[in-house]
Amino acid sequence: MSLTADIDSDCPSWEAAGYGAPQIEAALAALANELAVRDATVSILLTDDVEMKQLNRDWRGIDQPTNVLSFPATPPPAGWGEDQRILGDIAIGFSYCRAEAIAQFKTFADHVTHMVVHGALHLLDYDHEDDAKADVMEAVERRVLARLGINDPYAIEREPR
């Protein structure tokens, strides 16, 4: 199983927070093992809320920052990259995720790892547009995060860790 990432960051806060390639690679490996994903890659942009707001506005018509956005790849031309599928791009906003982690009593790393898994699942055609689809997607997220020792992201925690 193999799900790899090309990672880019234009926001120094990510490095200062100690979040990057090792955590992303672990999240994608756990997801690949859970879903038997073979020979696929994603591009991940670790960015700030200014760029997330622009991306959200330009692609979704929502003029505010968000935590994670996924952009599925269009099929490549025949004969190109046949040995590895390119699933698409994921963008993750630093400040928005940091604020969510604090509000939800989660560690920053655990929350962002959840966003990596969530974004990658969107690239694998999972969504949460209705309750039944959300239940399926959230179940996969829970199993993948549990493989990484991360608590259920949808459980309500009563005290900060």
Cα 141 to Cα 132: distance, rounded to the nearest angstrom:
14
CB 23 within 8 A of CB 113: yes
Tell me whether residue 159 is in a domain.
no
Q: Is residue 112 part of a domain?
A: yes
In a domain, 64, yes or no: yes
Residue 47 sits in a domain of what CATH number?
A: 3.40.390.30
User: What does the block give as tokens for 81?
Assistant: 């990259």
Exposed/middle/buried for residue 123 (C-beta within 10 Å: 0-12, 13-18, 19+): buried
- pLDDT above 80 (res 158): no
12 within a domain of the structure (yes/no): yes
Q: Is 158 exposed, middle or buried (0-12, 13-18, 19+ CB in 10 A)?
A: exposed
Does residue 43 form part of some domain? yes
In the chain, the number of structural domains is 1
- Residue ranges making up the domain that contains 133: 3-147
Give pLDDT tens digits for 68-123. Answer: 999 999 875 555 555 568 899 999 999 999 999 999 999 999 999 999 999 999 99
Single pTM value for the model = 0.91
Q: Does 161 reside within a domain? A: no
Look at residue 155 and tell me if it is in a domain.
no
| Domain presence at residue 73 | yes
Q: Can you tell me the distance from the alpha carbon of 161 to that of 152, in angstroms, rounded to the nearest whole number? A: 14
